[in-house]
Amino acid sequence: MKAWVIEKNSSLTIEGSSNINEFTCDVKQYMNQDTLVFFTDDKGKRLVFQRSALTVEVSQFDCHHKFITADLRKTLKYQQYPNMKIHFISMEDPTAVNQGHGVKGIVDIELAGIVRRMELVYTVSNQHDKYIDLTGSRQMHFSDFKLEPPKKMAGLIKINEDILVKVQLKFRKIA
């Protein structure tokens, strides 16, 4: 078994748009001390994670405008489901590729009580003996999690269904 600790300077960003403008909501600092525990499969090319998740408090999302922030949190049902979780299932071994190359990973994203399995492609951007950085993104839809995008002013302002979720993960190898 091997393990990585998720560093505080990891971040998560949601980019979206409405019929009048674009918005960005982010969590700039990861406040938990989560550890991803994994083993390498028998071929040595894939990591298989064991009960490993990244937990993000929905109330930590900041859209840099209080009304948009409040709408996003309400849409994500943060009072009923205060956490978003990204459960790591498997990933191609990022230590086996050169920097700048992509590795595929499978995650279960848990949001507003709904879990969806998705593939993410990460770029290995920094790799040292003790650290590894992975950056990835995925186009999603509010409806993937049975959510309806917010509307304002009797429907005059409508948030579009598509969102782009970006993760910048910084890990410290501990085992």
* Neighbouring residues of 150: CB distance < 8 A, sequence distance ≥ 6: 71, 72, 74, 75, 159
Domain coordinates in residue numbering, the chain: 2-173
CATH 2.40.128.110 is the classification of domain 2-173? yes
Q: What is the pLDDT of residues 4-14, one digit of tens each?
A: 899 999 999 99
Residues in the chain, pLDDT under 70: 97-98, 153-156, 175
Is the whole model's pTM more than 0.85, yes or no? yes
Q: What is the pLDDT of residues 19-39, one digit of tens each?
A: 888 999 999 888 787 898 999
**How many whole angstroms separate alpha carbon 37 and alpha carbon 51?**
7
Neighbours of 173 (CB within 10 A): 14
